[in-house]
Structure 1
Amino acid sequence: MLRLSALYRYPLKSAKAEALQQIGLDKLGLDGDRRWMLVDEASGRFLTQRTVGQMSQLSALWNADGGLTLNAPGHSTINIGLPTADAELRGITIFKDTLRVPDAGDEAGAWVSEFIGKPTRLVQIPLDRARTTQSGYGRDDDQVAFADGFPLLLIGQASLQDLSSKVGRPLEMLRFRPNLVIEGSDAFAEDGWKRIRIGDVEFRVVKPCSRCILTTIDPQTGERSTDREPLATLQKYRAQADGAMFGQNLVNDGNGRLEVGMQVTILE
């Protein structure tokens, strides 16, 4: 039997994960997942661990009211409320998307600027300002918050074990930042799935996930591997035209709740 073996949320894009036992879903995926993001103050360009490695050490916990609690080594804890309806809108860029979203304010901006080491702002995306998903995949009305391209990422536990065996050392699942981890399938069985159901919620499997240099960053220490693993191995046996693939991007059809241990059913 296939089952959901782990659930992860990333309230702030590219910060630490929250491991969860259960969670609800809305039209943008897991409640609170990647609804906040750091941007360069001058350009509005989004910031991630790809270029700002210390973000791996930034803890961002989702609050019940939709706000955020930030904490990092050597920095005080700060609680940030959900921006109000009259909050300043800031123009930002994430990949090819440009949009205007609420800014979290000067106190939050000062905290994240000190942490990053340059003028930085914290922004939030409400449901009514969501982006559309990557063109050419899924449906025209599929939406996403600040995740790279799609609301959810799924990885099979056996796929990680297969990759670890080829690299020659155990790899942490959080290097790959999934939302859903599935246990009980063969390695890379998820490559062949088109639709699945977990609990009462159905998901469409829309696109394999192309991996980047972020996979070489240790999620505990923030240090980058000198041998470029596991990306180097992925490029040898999981390469496609768009890059080295590991994991599948999903879109949920409808809301509901997920809980670790739930049965996973392959519908197509």
Structure 2
Amino acid sequence: MNVQFLWVYPVKSLAGIRVEALDLDDFGPAHDRRWMLVDDNGRFVTQRTHPELAKIKTSLAAGEVGVEIPGYGSFALEPTERRLEAKVWGDQVNTVLGAEEANAAVSAFCQRSLRFVFMPEDSFRQIDPDYVTSRRRVGFADGYPLLIANQASLEELNGRLRDPVEMRRFRPNVVVSGFTAWQEDHWRELSVGTVRLSLAKPCSRCVMTTVDPEVGVKDSDGQPLKTLSGYRRQKEGVIFGMNAIHQSRGCLSVGDPVSVIA
């Protein structure tokens, strides 16, 4: 059992980057979802309402985040000195606005006024206190620093679909292999290389899983969410993957051994 793939998502709801290693800092994977898009009310915007965001590529070099917006060019995301109270789910977060050039380009691409915002070090967003009582922070991810997915579970799901889907639909940080399908339902703690991960809760899935990451369009039949709903519905919702928290800083690498502790 080992790590098969690793992904980082520098901007919430934009395309991710497959990497060979993930450094873990206080927020989670370094640079993961420290940027996001908001509307004129400061509320977060995702592929749920704008599936075309999947087509915006991201880059990460020496800690600098870039975006490539189809038809408009490439831009470095640069924080300004302007502050904004942004809303992500039920949380109010103190953020820093991004530079106007990238904001204008993404607004033109989505045909809606949008702005990039950055979560600085002096901002703190608490992980869901219903599941985590310790004082732990998270960036703009939906709720937890890490998402763990099992390759065997995707293969089992694809066996039920007319058109198989890629793991990218589910936007995991860590994809593990060598386990049986849905074995992750019973995990509570994993050892990944030298890092221990606590699995807080199953990850409930939404309409974003129906967005084809290549073309930024939702599946007309609602797949794969429709099929998942038929046999993967639990009290938390329609489940694929596990939300996780790292117990310490460290580094995860492709090929790292994975062991179930509990």
Q: Same fold (TM over 0.5)?
A: yes
Q: Identity rate of aligned residues, in percent?
A: 38
* Residues 178-215 of structure 1: CA deviation (Å, up to 9, x unaligned): 00000000101111111111111111000100000011
Verify: 1:6 aligned to 2:5, yes or no. yes
Task: Find the counterpart in structure 1 of residue 240 from structure 2.
Answer: 246
Aligned residues: 262
Matching residue's letter, 1:73: P
Secondary structure of the residue aligned to 1:113 is helix
Segments of 5+ residues of structure 1 without an aligned counterpart are: none
Segments of 5+ residues of structure 2 without an aligned counterpart are: none
Task: Find the counterpart in structure 2 of residue 80 from structure 1.
Answer: 77
Q: CA RMSD in A?
A: 1.3
Deviating runs (4+, > 4 A) in structure 1?
none
CA distance in 2, matches of 1:110, 1:224: 25
Verify: 1:199 aligned to 2:193, yes or no. yes
CA distance in 1, matches of 2:50, 2:112: 11
Task: Find the counterpart in structure 2 of residue 70 from structure 1.
Answer: 67
8 Å contact kept, 1:207–1:250: yes
The offset of 1:122, in angstroms, is: 0.6
Secondary structure of the residue aligned to 1:229 is coil
CA distance in 1, matches of 2:236, 2:77: 38
Task: Find the counterpart in structure 2 of residue 98 from structure 1.
Answer: 92
* Residues 74-100 of structure 1: CA deviation (Å, up to 9, x unaligned): 11111233x26xx11111111100122
Task: Find the counterpart in structure 2 of residue 171 from structure 1.
Answer: 165
Task: Find the counterpart in structure 2 of residue 118 from structure 1.
Answer: 112
Secondary structure of the residue aligned to 2:104 is helix
8 Å contact kept, 1:27–1:252: no
The offset of 1:216, in angstroms, is: 0.7
* Residues 154-182 of structure 1: CA deviation (Å, up to 9, x unaligned): 11000001111122332110000000000
CA distance in 1, matches of 2:222, 2:102: 34
CA distance in 2, matches of 1:46, 1:90: 12
Secondary structure of the residue aligned to 1:140 is coil
Secondary structure of the residue aligned to 1:233 is helix
The offset of 1:23, in angstroms, is: 2.2
Which of these residues, 149, 153, 160, is aligned with residue 147 of structure 2?
Answer: 153
Matching residue's letter, 1:74: G
What TM-score comes out, normalization by structure 1 length? 0.94
CA distance in 2, matches of 1:211, 1:226: 17
CA distance in 1, matches of 2:166, 2:11: 20
The offset of 1:17, in angstroms, is: 1.0
8 Å contact kept, 1:28–1:127: no
CA distance in 1, matches of 2:8, 2:247: 19
